[in-house]
Amino acid sequence: MIYSRIVGTGSYLPPRVMTNADFAARLDTTDAWIRERTGIVQRHIAEKSQTSSDLAFEASRHALAAAGVGAEDMDLIVVATSTPDYVFPSTACLLQSKLGVKGSAAFDVQAVCSGFVYGLATADNFIRAGAAKKALVVGAEVFSRILDWNDRGTCVLFGDGAGAVVLAAGSKPGVHASILRADGSHSGMLSVPGNVCGGAVAGSPFLQMNGQAVFKFAVRVLEESARETVAAADMQLSDIDWLIPHQANVRILDATARKLGLPSEKLVVTVDHHGNTSAASVPLALDEYVRAGKIRAGHRLLLQGVGGGFTWGSNLVTL
């Protein structure tokens, strides 16, 4: 039986930090208002010259180094992003080129904030099927490009960054179970309802969101997904060492942990200093806790995403 395991993690955050005070200086908001509603204190913002593939490259370098392998060893590259460099080619192909390799399969996954969870499940199935022995899975976003910077209800929430993992085939289970779900009837709840047509933007190029609806929906499906995934792995919630949900809002994180009966000590929280980095949020949080020595080999992790589409899902992983 072939399984896949995470053998290396990496991340990258652009150097520029934007605090709540920066927003308060130009919008009708305050540091206290933002903290109370979101738990966010600061976020990182990419320079105009930095693209998703640039951030992905830096995160990938760190993950490959941690795994002790080279980019040439990858049979598969999967990049989860909602902010690709171009319409095409894919960000994964651009990343492959920046890594200086060629020949492996490379493609993007678009599931918004669930993207990394979707990408990890995809790469795991490639390895289980024997179609790949090693895979690079990356979540990378420059959400600052799709924000209306005059809308205090959305622009304060998001940040830029990238996180990556290396998966390798092995004889012991690493990714125990993945559950992926979607419901397109809720597409209007969170979207960027625009596109390029005839050289011009058709519709709106900015993110729009019904915050209250997203909150209620996210807490419900994250609880359902967690229970479904744990059951699929024939485990119990008490077997989980760390819950790593998509870092959207600290109130969503706290509510999900409470509904699952998991203590706050098992909840990974990085949204306060990363903001919502969409598909990058889960691998960013994972790498931070791994490098801090909090998450260690043998720990069982429940990774969760929920985002526009609407999409959601979970991976149950032993590191």
Q: Annotated catalytic residue: which of 20, 113, 155, 176?
A: 113
Amino acid at 134: K
Question: What is the phi-psi region of residue 86: left when phi exceeds 0, alpha when psi lies from -120 to 50, beta otherwise?
Answer: beta
88-96, Cβ contacts within 8 angstroms, sequence gap of 24 or more: 91/51, 91/52, 91/53, 91/56, 91/140, 92/138, 94/51, 94/53, 95/53, 95/56, 95/57, 95/60, 95/138, 96/71
Q: Which residues pair with 209 in a beta bridge?
A: 190
Q: Is 210 one of the annotated active-site residues of the chain?
A: no
- Chain centroid to CA 180: 14
Residue 265: HSE in the Cβ half-sphere, 13 Å Cα cutoff? 2
Strands 160-170 and 3-12, sheet pairing: antiparallel
**Separation of alpha carbons 284 and 62, rounded Å:** 12
Buried b / exposed e over 66-97, threshold 16 CB at 10 Å, is: bbebebebbbbbbbbbbbbbeeebbbbbbbbe
Q: Which residues pair with 140 in a beta bridge?
A: 162
Q: Is 195 one of the annotated active-site residues of the chain?
A: no
Q: Annotated catalytic residue: which of 20, 246, 249, 274?
A: 246
CA R_g for the chain: 18
Residue 269: DSSP 8-state: -
Q: Annotated catalytic residue: which of 20, 249, 276, 315?
A: 276
Give the residue among 294, 290, 304, 288 at the shortest CA–CA distance from 266.
Answer: 294
Q: Is 246 one of the annotated active-site residues of the chain?
A: yes
Catalytic machinery residues: 113, 246, 276
